């Protein structure tokens, strides 16, 4: 893939979990980088919980160069939505493949 084909910007965030004063969890996002890549979404899939509540899950592949700082569990803000990083695979030629997912109700 050529750099010219990487036309979609995505903001990469790291997530830090800490404990608050009352013993609860606090998730804080920290901006890591802006990635330019090739965004390839899959069609959304409808799912249901055990209680019968419906929700929609969508996965996508984001191919980019130099995804330093991208780790599973991180966050990518792309196309107006937050996507959770499921996996990061290094590819030949300095490319990386991020498998990302978003859940919406």
SS3 label, residue 54: strand
**pLDDT, the chain, mean:** 88
Burial class (CB in 10 A: 0-12, 13-18, 19+), 85: buried
Phi-psi region of 98 (alpha: psi -120 to 50; beta: other; left: phi over 0): beta
- H/E element holding 88? strand 81-90
With contact defined as beta carbons under 8 Å apart, do 81 and 102 qualify?
yes
**23-55 pLDDT tens trace:** 889 988 889 999 999 999 999 999 888 887 888
Q: How far apart are the first and last CA of the chain?
A: 35
Q: Is pLDDT larger for residue 71 or for residue 3? A: 71
Instruction: Parse the chain into domains and list their residue ranges.
Output: 3-104
Q: pLDDT-derived band of residue 87, with 50, 70 and 90 as boundaries?
A: very high
Q: pLDDT-derived band of residue 13, with 50, 70 and 90 as boundaries?
A: very high
Give the CATH number of domain 3-104. 2.40.10.270
Residue 88 has pLDDT above 70, yes or no: yes
SS3 label, residue 23: coil
Q: pLDDT-derived band of residue 4, with 50, 70 and 90 as boundaries?
A: low
Q: What is the pTM of this model?
A: 0.83
C-alpha angle with apex 38: 69 to 3, nearest 5 degrees? 85
């Amino acid at each position: 893939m050529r750099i010219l084909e990487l036309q979609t910007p995505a903001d990469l965030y790291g997530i830090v979990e800490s404990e608050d004063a009352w013993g609860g969890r606090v998730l804080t996002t920290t901006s890591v980088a802006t990635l330019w890549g090739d965004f390839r979404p899959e069609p959304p899939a409808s799912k249901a919980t055990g209680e019968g509540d419906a929700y929609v899950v969508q996965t996508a592949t984001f191919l980019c160069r130099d995804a330093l700082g991208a780790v599973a569990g991180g966050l990518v803000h792309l196309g107006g939505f937050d996507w959770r990083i499921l996996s990061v695979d290094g590819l030949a030629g300095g490319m990386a493949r991020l498998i990302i997912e978003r859940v919406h109700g």
